[in-house]
Amino acid sequence: MSSQDQFVSLLKTHQNIVHKVCNLYMDRHSEREDLFQEITLQAWKAFSSFRGDAKFSTWLYRVALNTAITFYRKEKRSPQIYIYDSVPESASEDGIDPIEMQLKAMYAAIGELSKIDKAIVMLYLEDYPYQDIGEMMGITANNVAVKMNRIKTKLKDEAKKQLEQS
């Protein structure tokens, strides 16, 4: 199997990782598509350096997160123009499930985190151990644990604010 075929096969198997990163860092569909392409390109460029010391999924997470953070910074430097066809209607309180409201509040709270903290939360929610998260982020497992404790506190406070506002 050629390296190109191997890359395509591995990427197809683990493309959900790239989609999760894209959804976490970009709000609009077109931005997510652009980021997906950029991550794929960067992963292909770096694939020759993949030695197999770590799992491919771990390596791909690292490439995806680094690319997303770089891509996000570039996007924020350029002026953003949004065109809205219509203004969304606000939902009534009567038809909304309390669990759904809590989830929305939590996702809104995650959206308020720094890009690095978002990445750590995403990996944590994927059930990666602190050691693996540390390797992907380039920090120690102890540093991940400290950051997660701080992030959890921030998320609780921010989600509470979000729920009070709704």
Distance CA 144, CA 116 (A): 11
pLDDT tens track for 98-157: 777 777 777 778 888 888 898 898 888 888 889 988 888 888 999 999 999 999 999 888
Is 165 among the domain residues?
Answer: no
Indicate the residue among 85, 111, 136 that finishes a domain: 85
pLDDT tens track for 26-67: 878 888 899 999 999 999 999 988 888 888 988 898 899 889
Which long-range contacts link 24-30 to residues 24+ away (Cβ below 8 Å)?
Answer: 24/68, 24/110, 24/118, 24/119, 24/122, 25/68, 25/69, 25/71, 25/72, 25/115, 25/118, 26/72, 26/75
Pick left, alpha or beta for residue 138 (phi over 0 → left; psi -120 to 50 → alpha; otherwise beta). left
Q: What is the CATH number of the domain that holds 10?
A: 1.10.1740.10
Is 166 among the domain residues?
Answer: no
Q: Give the model's pLDDT for residue 81.
A: 44
7 has pLDDT over 50? yes
Q: Give the model's pLDDT for residue 116.
A: 86
80 has pLDDT over 60? no
Q: Give the model's pLDDT for residue 43.
A: 93
Indicate the residue among 58, 85, 112 that finishes a domain: 85
Is 110 among the domain residues?
Answer: yes
